[in-house]
Structure 1
Amino acid sequence: MKRFIIHCICAGILSGAALTAAAQQVALHNPASVAGGLVEVDYAALAAQWQPLAKGNFKVINTATGKEVAYQVLTEGTGAPVKILLDVTLPAGAKITVKFVEGKPAPVAAKTFGRYVPERKEDFAWENNRVAFRMYGKALEATPKEMAYGVDFWNKRTEDLVINKWYKRSNYHKDEGEGLDYYHVGLTLGAGGIAPYLEDSIWFSRNYTGHRMLDSGPLRTTFELSYDAWQVGRRSVTVTKRVSLDANAQLSKMDIRYSENLPVAIGISKRKEPGAMLLEETSGVMGYWEPQHGADGTTGIGCIVLAPVKEMKVEKGHLLAVSATDGNNAITYYTGGAWDKAGKIRNAGEWFRYLQEQAIRLRQPVSVKIIEKSKK
């Protein structure tokens, strides 16, 4: 009898432990006709279904392959978990299930990075394993001959993260095997900058004065830049720009919030020599394949505007997509670039097709369903 009672107690303990450690399944579905990007899972919704999440030590497994899925917990600057970003790419129309289990995850190699660069006149630079960018700080305004407003694109042809290395180089405008910075911004919107657009004019701000890192790799880097007030017609306006870049992407996400509702223009600097252009107002896709820059090769720049686009046009030294902020004085768009020497996107046709496919993906994101456990 004693032996039977002991067996029952042990069985109950084991059963409770198994119940606590049971895996939590999450179903993913890509409804788009193109491959998806990285996938976000809502942290609070998952925690409500799976208590071990709060312990912070968990792995994600692809149930079909049995392989571990790399992930990053995002706080978005709040100091607490908000989302879990999964490094999983679903083909067009694909469905998969992943499971969350307790255990120490494998280390995730950093594929994104960004930082404030005080040693180079307050640049803010960011990159992933494909592309790199920077925007300019107030200190640059003290050097009028170098002054620039918009987004800068760095031509890299390595999956390594290069920002720290390149800023230590004596001349990162020369290709030493990993790429170079030959893109010229100047007093333009550069590679997809944004500005109020009133009275048929672009109202440029000065350079950023405040910065804040929200998430720093390995799969997504997100930061905010804030700008002092400037005059837009008769109005004094401020803006905050939240920028994020995912691993494997050519495009950064730009969440822009002004102090009031405004018409805006998103622009790409146009070169004097002939290049190829794509202006699709209905899909919000604006693409530019620049003229070749001698031995340096050719750069493509592109933007995807998710808000309604009033018009796209070529004027004032730019390709422009004219839109407006929403009821919250905000607008979201994507901007980025490609370089033929990187080998992934080699001509205008491939670049424009990439932009068109990304526009489809962004409007039809992967659906995420946390599978409820059956109650017995």
Structure 2
Amino acid sequence: MPRAVVRHAPDRADDLIWENDRVAHRIYGPALQKLEPPSGSGIDAWVKKVRWPFMDRQLKTPSYHNDYGEGLDFYGVGGSRGVGGLGIWFDDKLWVSRNWASHQILQNGPDVASFQVSYAPWPVGVDRRVWETRTFTLSLGSHFTRLQSVIDSDKPEDLIVGIGLNKTPVGTARGVLTVDAKQGLLMLWTPAHAQHGAMGTAVRVDPAQVVDVGADADNHLVRLRVKPGQPFVYYIASVWERGLDFRTREAWEAHVRAEQLTFDPR
């Protein structure tokens, strides 16, 4: 049965997993940070070819990187931002948090999966610290997870927030990047994985906040101007060419552009 669901998975090193009838994602928690230091706060994307939740079962298989008929995880996050992780851009570098430090599940279906995480303070340069609270919301029937972030700081000056897409999530080859700064849009269509095909990933931000679009060694980045303590909203999305929805880059990009999204904080 199609549902939007979220689960904390202490049995898989504190993963937080969420999915609906179209997409599946996870972020990494405190246990994994200890098991596989330094771990990271990038956002993972899984692929699925069923309308019902499958991530919980997939985590219990011999390897969730294999396709047993419902989907799998073949997207590589590594040290990147994955699909829409963020950091603070300062001194030509992205300063990023560790894994989430605490969590609260707000709604576990059936039509909405929503949860909130906090990230412990991390340094930006040598004399500034920031910390973040972020709320994730995924509705049934949508490819887009809504992220509302509040980044506080021990200094009042504006922050430049970089939101990223991993440049090489499938092997070492680079895919096709589409940028539309006026629409606040980054899209990447990956090269085809030898066994599993290609994925599409996307980030959409409020165009009014965009400073520029650029990159670092690991990520394509859209950079926003943000005031400490004030919420801002952005969206992440993904698709699999072997899934149930969009099979080509052109169809996926048309969908991402056309989706009606609101950036007003709640």
Fold in common (TM above 0.5): yes
Letter in 2 for 1:332: V
State which of 86, 105, 124 in structure 2 corresponds to 1:232.
Answer: 124
- Work out the number of aligned pairs and report it: 255
SS of the residue aligned with 1:230?
strand
Q: CA deviation at 1:364?
A: 10
Q: CA deviation at 1:314?
A: 3.5
Identity percentage of aligned residues: 29
Give, in whole Å, the separation in 2 of the partners of 1:314 and 1:288: 13
Give, in whole Å, the separation in 2 of the partners of 1:164 and 1:343: 20
**Residue equivalent to 2:25:** 133
Q: Deviations over 1:334-371 (max 9, x none)?
A: 0020000003111211121111111xx11599xxxxxx
Letter in 2 for 1:217: G
Q: After the TM superposition, which residues 1-376 of structure 1 pair with which residues of structure 2 at under 5 Å, given as runs?
A: 111-144=3-36, 147-233=39-125, 234-260=127-153, 261-271=158-168, 272-306=172-206, 307-326=208-227, 328-358=229-259, 361-363=260-262
Q: CA deviation at 1:110?
A: 5.2
On the 8 A contact 1:130/1:249 being kept in 2, the answer is yes
Q: TM-score, normalised by structure 2?
A: 0.91
On the 8 A contact 2:188/2:201 being kept in 1, the answer is yes
On the 8 A contact 1:224/1:242 being kept in 2, the answer is yes
Q: Deviations over 1:92-148 (max 9, x none)?
A: xxxxxxxxxxxxxxxxx6520001110111111100011110000011122337823
Give, in whole Å, the separation in 2 of the partners of 1:132 and 1:241: 18
- Relative to structure 1, is the Cα distance of residues 145 and 170 closer, same or farther in structure 2, using a 3 angstrom cutoff? farther
On the 8 A contact 1:189/1:267 being kept in 2, the answer is yes
Q: CA deviation at 1:232?
A: 1.2
On the 8 A contact 2:41/2:100 being kept in 1, the answer is no
On the 8 A contact 1:121/1:137 being kept in 2, the answer is yes
Letter in 1 for 2:247: R
- Relative to structure 1, is the Cα distance of residues 110 and 295 closer, same or farther in structure 2, using a 3 angstrom cutoff? closer
Q: More strand per residue: 1 or 2? A: 2
Coordinate RMSD, CA, aligned: 1.8
Q: CA deviation at 1:331?
A: 1.8
- Relative to structure 1, is the Cα distance of residues 267 and 364 closer, same or farther in structure 2, using a 3 angstrom cutoff? closer
Letter in 2 for 1:267: G
Structure 2 unaligned blocks of 5 or more? none
Which of structure 1's runs of 4+ aligned residues deviate more than 6 A?
A: none
Please say which of residues 207-216 and 324-333 is displaced more in the overlay: 324-333
SS of the residue aligned with 1:294?
coil
Q: More helix per residue: 1 or 2? A: 1
Bigger CA radius of gyration: 1
Give, in whole Å, the separation in 1 of the partners of 2:41 and 2:263: 33
**Residue equivalent to 1:10:** none
Q: CA deviation at 1:198?
A: 1.1
Give, in whole Å, the separation in 2 of the partners of 1:146 and 1:295: 29
Q: TM-score, normalised by structure 1?
A: 0.65
Letter in 2 for 1:220: V
On the 8 A contact 2:39/2:99 being kept in 1, the answer is no
Give, in whole Å, the separation in 2 of the partners of 1:281 and 1:364: 15
Please say which of residues 144-153 and 304-313 is displaced more in the overlay: 144-153
Structure 1 unaligned blocks of 5 or more? 1-108, 366-376
Please say which of residues 231-240 and 282-291 is displaced more in the overlay: 231-240
Q: Deviations over 1:29-79 (max 9, x none)?
A: xxxxxxxxxxxxxxxxxxxxxxxxxxxxxxxxxxxxxxxxxxxxxxxxxxx
Q: CA deviation at 1:328?
A: 4.1
SS of the residue aligned with 1:171?
coil
On the 8 A contact 1:229/1:237 being kept in 2, the answer is yes
Q: Deviations over 1:126-175 (max 9, x none)?
A: 00011110000011122337823300000111001112211221211001
SS of the residue aligned with 2:251?
helix
